[in-house]
Structure 1
Amino acid sequence: MDLADLRIFRTVVREGGITRAAEKLFRVQSNVTTRIRQLEEDLGVQLFIREGKRLHVSPAGHKLVGYADRLLALAEEARTAMLDPRPRGTLRLGAMERTAAARLPSLLADYHARYPEVEIQLRTGNPQVLATAMLAGELDAAFAAEPIADAPFEKQSAFQEQLVIVSAASRVSIDDRLDMPKTMIAFEHGCPHRKRLEQWYARRGFMAEKTIELGSYHAILGCVVAGMGIALMPKSVLSGFPESRWLKLHELPADEDNAVTVLFWRKGAGSSNVTALQELLAEQSLSTGVAAAAIA
């Protein structure tokens, strides 16, 4: 059963016969008759009761008319949506936990106000998880800290983050070579901030003896306050942490203290929904005096 057969069937019903339907559809009568018989064979029912040259819609035919109307209307709606440049439908968006918690609420509120016909579905994860999900067709776009592979994706810079190392307030220094922090607290492998902290140790000729893996920034900060180790994270995380007075922030050198979060999507798989998000990001970046650069 295809849409063309349903359209022919509905026209025969509406016009009351093969002849008038053929004229309406600009087809020869034999073609209309053949398509109706093919539809009946496909469905395994008789759609018309034939009395000589006259046709009467059968009970099964009456039932099919309603479905035909709905299917053809839905097909027309889909065709219109494909041609309509306005954002609509579902935007499947991914983000790192930090970005989702601190950066996205206001951005997505503005997006929803501007494009109320778009339903946003949000999924969190580290950059590797998000990239894999996008290549599998499970996400339309995602926010993640660099580096993001260039080959399969297009990117646009979204947010600049200042990175700091945090320790318990009792730790005076993290650079004392005789008293380097032995434990690092971080997310699972694949988290870019974990990798940056590992690089921080490596540059100083040390390696953490123990790594505590946790699933949220609040849990990480709680362990830091308890003196269990150090962590590296965006400074903006601390604005929502009530026990920040029990923490000590350690500034990083200029070549280690920043991270860029990008919006990325699969090459050739852009959509009006993603384009609208790109444009909104660019507008917000300009309003704050930071240009959002497109990255090929």
Structure 2
Amino acid sequence: MEFSQLRIFQAVAEEGSIAKAALRLNRVPSNLSTRLRQLEERLGVALFLRERQRLQLSPAGKVLQDYASRLFALQDEAEAALKGGEPAGTFVIGSMHSTAAIHLPAMLAHYHRRYPAVNLQVHTLPSGELVDGLLAGRLDAALVDGPEVSSELEGIALFDEELLLITEAGHAPVRSARDVAGQPLFTFRPRCSYRRRLENWFAAQRATLGPVMEIESYHSMLACVIAGGGVALMPRSMLDSLPARDAVSVHPLAAPFGQATTWLMWRKGMAGANLRAWSDGLRERLQLP
């Protein structure tokens, strides 16, 4: 296998389309199709499943994607080491949606100013999916909720978040989950750690969990709550950034459900120059020891 073939494979896997991957790589689609076909013939397996207008990774393709991500990470680390340990190559950071919206912009700008040669990429996903990305080698580091208990990961605590339950304006005070029992919940996908906290809050107080409605943005969650459709949980920092924040009622949750700590996590043994520079920058900005 050639690295150029793997780059093409990775681009198609991420874009789900040869045409979109060709635009991203500034190449013609026919060239990508030929190189992919050659790679599949060499390996003797189908890497993609053709479904309507989108390409989905086959089981073999998912295996190759994991290995390709690790190879590219090692390549970047090798280049950085040969350049005297200076940050270089591609650095892929994952982040929860709220952290990406509130805390990450300043961090990204700070890092880019210091290390403009680094190709910095950001993936926003629920916390559980970020951990999967770390373990699979698709992410170099991730900002996740709480220290993930895994022998393959390590990290540092960065900052605390206060989690708030929001309801339609004028809602009676919420002192327990029973006060909103049965009401619809607006939240992210199942691997979202904040969703898990909310579900655990209901379970701990033996309250009836209402229907869960999955939404992919805090703006949409807020709009649905304002309309009287149900309740949602979000960090105070996120709520404070939204223009319509005064159109809902806010209810703090008792410990341990109303407090979360955001961590920077990475795979053990994979703290290369890019990650060390990112970690040092965070420590400096947040005044961590």
Q: What is the TM-score of this pair, normalised by structure 1? A: 0.67
Q: CA deviation at 1:150?
A: 2.8
d(CA) in 2 for partners of 1:268, 1:80: 15
Matched letter for residue 106 of structure 1: A
Partner letter of residue 135 of structure 2?
A: L
Amino acid at match of 1:102: I
Q: Distance in 2 between matches of 1:183 and 1:114?
A: 46
Shift of 1:81: 4.8
Could you tell me which residue of structure 2 aligns to residue 92 of structure 1?
A: 92
Q: Structure 1 residues 178 and 101, CA, compared in 2 at 3 Å: closer, same or farther?
A: closer
Separation in 1 of the partners of 2:186 and 2:174? 14
Conserved? CA contact 1:127–1:148, under 8 Å: no
Task: Confirm whether residue 134 of structure 1 aligns to residue 134 of structure 2.
Answer: yes
> Aligned-pair RMSD on alpha carbons?
2.0
Cα deviation code 1:224-283 (max 9, x no counterpart): 111111111100111221111211110122433210111111111111000011111111
**Alignment size in residue pairs:** 212
Deviation of the 1:179 alpha carbon: 5.9
Q: Is the alpha carbon distance of 1:263 and 1:109 closer, same or farther for their aligned partners in structure 2, counting shifts above 3 Å? A: same
Query: How much does 1:135 deviate?
Result: 2.0
Paired residue secondary structure (2:130): helix
The TM-score, its normalising length taken from structure 2, stands at 0.69
Residue 89 of structure 1 aligns with an amino acid whose one-letter code is G
Contact 1:181–1:229 (Cα < 8 Å) also in 2: no
Matching residue of 2:35: none
Match of 1:113 in 2: 113
Could you tell me whether the CA contact under 8 Å between 2:94 and 2:130 is conserved in 1? yes
CA distance in 2, matches of 1:96, 1:277: 17
Question: 5+ unaligned residues in a row in structure 1: which ranges?
Answer: 1-77
Which position in structure 1 is the counterpart of 2:231?
A: 230
Distance apart, 1:114 and its partner CA? 1.2
What is the alpha-carbon distance in structure 2 between the residues aligned to residue 198 and residue 224 of structure 1? Answer: 18
Q: Distance in 2 between matches of 1:179 and 1:94?
A: 33
How far 1:175 moved relative to its partner? 3.3
Residues 85, 238 of structure 1: alpha-carbon distance in 2 compared, 3 angstrom cutoff: same
- Report % sequence identity: 36
Q: Aligned pair 1:190/2:169, yes or no?
A: no
SS across alignment from 1:159: strand
Instruction: Tell me the residue number matched to 1:155.
Output: 155
Measure, in 2, the Cα distance between the counterparts of 1:217 and 1:262: 21
Which runs of structure 1 show a deviation greater than 6 angstroms over 4 or more consecutive aligned residues? none
Q: Evaluate the alpha carbon distance shift between residue 258 and residue 178 of structure 1 in structure 2; reply closer, same or farther with a 3 A threshold.
A: closer
